[in-house]
A and B are shown apart, each in its own frame.
Chain A
């Protein structure tokens, strides 16, 4: 017990960078830095949210028609997958805090699996939209699929799809980066890099992962659940 404590503190000391007074200052600083970074991420997505708000307010019906093409079952499943991944991530951070590196590695691996699950489902959806020409650009073509109610405003539905691809695409990119970061934690964790005295990277990647989840929590209702009825 005592020796492992000393070992822990030695790992921590090696991890203490020279310009900090102590581990606590380093930890608080790293965490604050990560929150600042997430703040910039919010503004980054914010530009897209702003475009979404403007066009949705202007072309409501076109947006409703576009959203009918979303597969709510897959979207909801993906939301659930992400929530599960957030749970395992949170538990993984907790394991790191409590000094259980093996448990942490296992939980992070599960998180990665969920992450790939999300991307897989997203890929299925993307494929469907792609073959239906629901991709903005010269080949874009939109039909409601209901002869009784032809598309009223396909031009502006294209803007809906532009935003759909841009927002979910940027989100998916963040997922890919997140998976990479978690994988790095797994490797470092296996090499014994983290102890209850030093686990900033785990905590910060955790924050990032939850943030990406958070963005999806908004994207899902904004893009999938605009309105099921009002076809046009």
Chain B
């Protein structure tokens, strides 16, 4: 029995060219996405390692595992890596890079070489920051608050700042590329109202990248100059105002937290529609809510500075404006729920993650409202309450969405299915582990346990042990996908072009897609998420 049907493997972006050089010099958005996937995963494990060290130290009340100095470095490096080198690029640079040009029916991003440059800048920034960490570390917290960072810290602040500065340009160029691509490269017939919500949300995130990132770049440059030359801009001894640093820092970094969640929200919109077999409820509102979040996100930054010494009047204004952001965020949550209502729901892994996202993001967002209220914030600022809040949105929201998207588009990226049973197990572990880790921190913070200390009073031990136990479950939940994704590359079932029977142009080309994406430029004549008119087959894969 020689081959009955000789299947010649179709040419695709993975097998069209071989060798290291063909990867390092590629301008194909799909290959660049894979480069990002690999580097970001590495950073995720490194950041996760630091997190585990933190949790282990906090297993006991005494500061016994590491010294307080080391502990300061651990949470700083955890924060810097997770924020700047993992979560900010995660969804846009990996999934967005791969999927957005496909979704708009283009052959590539508008500026393919700039896209590659973004990855090199990311790597250069990461290596610079890592060098600073290996040669001694940084202990300022990811926020680099002055005057500690400019004057008193004896660690490698400049190296870390320059690393983030360089990575910032990577982010700027990625954002620029998205905006121009979405404006200029859409296939004929693909109007703004037919654009998938994932493109809308990446567009909104790109607005933040382009308008916010330059400000933190110049701010970190000033911190570096201040350290090197004592120019006095942020140093109170020289007449400068350290709070000015906070203004400039949060002008970027508050919008940046939305930059970390917006692309994830886009992922969730795609998945909820697909696995409910329905058009997203109130499509226009969801699309515009993304833009509203991006814009309002720039109006609220000083809610991080309520107790820093800003004027009470300004605090009042910023508190009120902060409530405003909750409106478009809530619009999204309500509309996802309404989309699922009376839908024919399949419980595949991406959908499980999407469920997790919706619940956890809601908790995170609502506690954000608590924090935006002046009176509550004075009580819980700089406690574990804040830590729990932002991990609910960033891990429960951002990372969940990243995992959801990875599972959803993995068949498209690799042409292979991941093993569904294992994936469901890991989604469950992530959800349980996450809540066990972070819910106790709300209580800790409410009881007054401050953040960034390596020791704590014994009465807080039970909750801390719970948290550390949860973190180990969470870790297993993240290790599993790593293993089965790699496994699936070889042993996974062939996915076919459209395993989820989903709408969207990316599903109309083969998996993995050919280098030029589409054999013919598609012409779009239908609305987004036209599931009602899609052949009503059940999703066949993974049952």
Contact = CB atoms under 8 A, between A and B. Distances in A.
Decide if A and B touch, CB cutoff 8 A. yes
Interface of A: 17-19, 21, 25, 28-29, 32-33, 36-37, 39-48, 50-51, 54-55, 58-59, 136-138, 155-156, 158-159, 162-163, 165-166
B214 A136 contact: no
A33 B183 CA distance: 10
A39 B209 CA distance: 11
Contact of B215 (A32, A37, A46, A55): A46
Interface string B507-541: 00000000010000100000000000000000000
Contact of A37 (B108, B176, B212, B213): B176
Given A32-B180, A40-B172, A40-B210, A47 B218 contact: yes
A43 B229 contact: no
Contacts of A39: 210-211
A219 B106 CA distance: 42
B231 A166 contact: yes
Given A36-B180, A158-B239, A29 B214 contact: no
A155 B107 CA distance: 58
Contacts of A19: 106-109, 112, 185
A43 B215 contact: yes
A51 B244 contact: yes
A17 B184 CA distance: 14
B239 A59 contact: yes
B222 A51 contact: yes
A57 to B, nearest CB: 11
Given A32-B184, A39-B211, A51-B222, 16 more contacts: A18-B107, A19-B109, A21-B521, A33-B114, A43-B211, A45-B218, A46-B214, A47-B219, A48-B218, A55-B233, A55-B241, A59-B239, A136-B229, A155-B238, A155-B239, A165-B231
Interface of B: 106-112, 114, 172, 176, 179-180, 183-185, 210-215, 217-219, 222, 225, 229-233, 238-241, 244, 247-248, 516, 521
A48 to B, nearest CB: 6
A137 B231 contact: yes
Contacts of B111: 33
A43 B222 CA distance: 15
A36 B214 CA distance: 12
29 contacts: A17-B112, A28-B184, A29-B110, A29-B180, A29-B184, A33-B111, A33-B176, A36-B179, A36-B180, A40-B210, A42-B214, A43-B215, A45-B218, A46-B214, A47-B214, A47-B248, A48-B218, A51-B244, A51-B248, A54-B244, A58-B241, A137-B230, A137-B231, A155-B239, A158-B232, A159-B233, A159-B238, A165-B231, A166-B233
Contact of B247 (A50, A155, A162, A163): A50
A58 B241 CA distance: 10
A47 B225 CA distance: 14
A136 B232 CA distance: 8
A43 to B, nearest CB: 4
A104 to B, nearest CB: 24
A163 B185 CA distance: 41
B239 A50 contact: no
Given A36-B179, A51-B244, A162 B231 contact: yes
B476 to A, nearest CB: 41
A158 to B, nearest CB: 5
Contacts of B248: 47, 50-51
B231 A136 contact: yes
Contacts of A37: 176
Contact of A25 (B114, B184, B219, B240): B184
Contacts of B211: 39-40, 43
B116 to A, nearest CB: 14
B459 to A, nearest CB: 44
A45 B232 CA distance: 18
Contacts of B217: 44, 47
A36 B110 contact: no
Contacts of B176: 33, 36-37, 40
A33 B110 contact: yes
Contacts of A158: 231-232, 238-239
Contacts of A54: 241, 244
A223 B110 CA distance: 39
B233 A163 contact: yes
Nearest to A48: B218
Contacts of A166: 222, 225, 231, 233
Nearest to B218: A47
A72 B211 CA distance: 34
A40 B107 contact: no
Closest 10 CB pairs of A and B: A47-B218, A44-B214, A19-B107, A162-B231, A43-B214, A136-B231, A19-B108, A29-B184, A155-B239, A47-B215
Contact of A159 (B179, B183, B219, B239): B239
Contacts of A59: 239
Contacts of A18: 107-108, 516
A44 B112 CA distance: 24
Nearest to B183: A32
A59 B248 CA distance: 19
Contacts of A36: 176, 179-180, 210
A43 B233 contact: no
A21 B185 CA distance: 9
Nearest to B177: A33
A40 B405 CA distance: 29
B203 to A, nearest CB: 12
Nearest to B176: A36
A128 to B, nearest CB: 19
Greatest chain A CB density within 10 A among B114, B184, B217, B239 is at B239
A193 B110 CA distance: 21
Contact of A136 (B179, B230, B247): B230
Most buried by B among A37, A58, A165: A37
Nearest to B516: A18
Contact of A47 (B210, B222, B240): B222
B506 to A, nearest CB: 16
Contacts of A40: 172, 176, 210-211, 213-214
Contacts of B215: 43-44, 46-47
Contact of B240 (A28, A138, A159): A159
A215 to B, nearest CB: 13
Contacts of A48: 218, 222
Nearest to A33: B180
Given A29-B110, A37-B176, A166-B231, A156 B214 contact: no
